[in-house]
Amino acid sequence: MARARNQRDPYAFFFRYQNVGENILNRNNGLYFVIGALVVVIVGLGAYIFNEERKPDGIELRIGQNGISVEEK
């Protein structure tokens, strides 16, 4: 039996707005991705700077196939 057009379907609201929550989650996932990428960049840059600061100043002596090389830093 067909319903009249003016009758309200109790599930119409649910079917109409069920994808709204998914769109919000997709936006939040993108935001989490951007924040995570920024955290990775900051940690990587911090590790690089820390490693560069630990390098000793002075003379570097290398012994290899081409002989001995001495560099002043």
State the pLDDT at residue 54: 84
Query: Does residue 6 lie in a domain region?
Result: no
Query: Does residue 45 lie in a domain region?
Result: yes
User: What does the chain look like in DSSP terms, one character per residue?
Assistant: -PPPTTSPPTTHHHHHHTTHHHHHHHHHHHHHHHHHHHHHHHHHHHHHHHHHHHSPPSEEEEEETTEEEEEE-
Query: Does residue 2 lie in a domain region?
Result: no
Domain count, the chain: 1
User: Span 14-38, mean pLDDT?
Assistant: 72
Say what the pTM is: 0.47
Percent share of the chain, pLDDT over 90? 23
Query: Does residue 27 lie in a domain region?
Result: yes
State the pLDDT at residue 48: 95
Provide the residue range defining the domain that includes 18: 12-72
Query: Does residue 3 lie in a domain region?
Result: no
In this prediction, residue 5 has a pLDDT band, given cuts at 50, 70 and 90, of low
